[in-house]
């Protein structure tokens, strides 16, 4: 199986349980590993035989910046679900990093990573 990777996509969203998170918002980082057969595109060199990367980016951006969730877990699941419904991926691995959750302590970030398969989400 082949993969398309998106690394370090950056968006500004308003996700979190606490009022300040919903009001002030913060940066979120998204990484993707998207599994599909790329043999036809590798042979043809034709965009019609693969997926448009800009459309994938736009899909994720719309979810992170256009919707609001209390939990990063739900945000992560929502991205995976929509990618599998909208594109012909067999599997979507999504990692959402929240660099500044309201935790009293020293840490770099908190991240949620989920893997979902096409058979889990039929359009």
SS3 assignment, position 25 = coil
- Say how far apart CA 98 and CA 16 lie, in whole Å: 10
98 has catalytic annotation: yes
Q: Which of these is catalytic: 61, 93, 95, 98?
A: 98
SS3 112: strand
User: Nearest-CA neighbor of 89 among 117, 120, 114?
Assistant: 117
Catalytic residues: 98
């Amino acid at each position: 199986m082949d993969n398309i990777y998106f690394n370090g996509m950056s968006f500004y969203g308003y996700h979190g349980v606490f009022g300040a998170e919903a009001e002030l918002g913060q940066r979120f980082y998204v990484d993707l590993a998207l599994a599909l057969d790329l043999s036809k595109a590798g042979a043809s060199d034709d965009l019609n035989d693969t997926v448009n990367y800009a459309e994938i980016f736009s899909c994720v951006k719309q979810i992170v910046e256009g919707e609001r969730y209390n939990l990063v877990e739900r945000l992560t699941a929502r991205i995976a679900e929509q990618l599998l419904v909208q594109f012909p991926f067999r599997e979507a691995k999504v990692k959402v990093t929240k660099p500044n959750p309201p935790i009293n302590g020293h840490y770099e970030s908190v991240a949620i990573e989920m893997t979902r398969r096409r058979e889990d989400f039929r359009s």
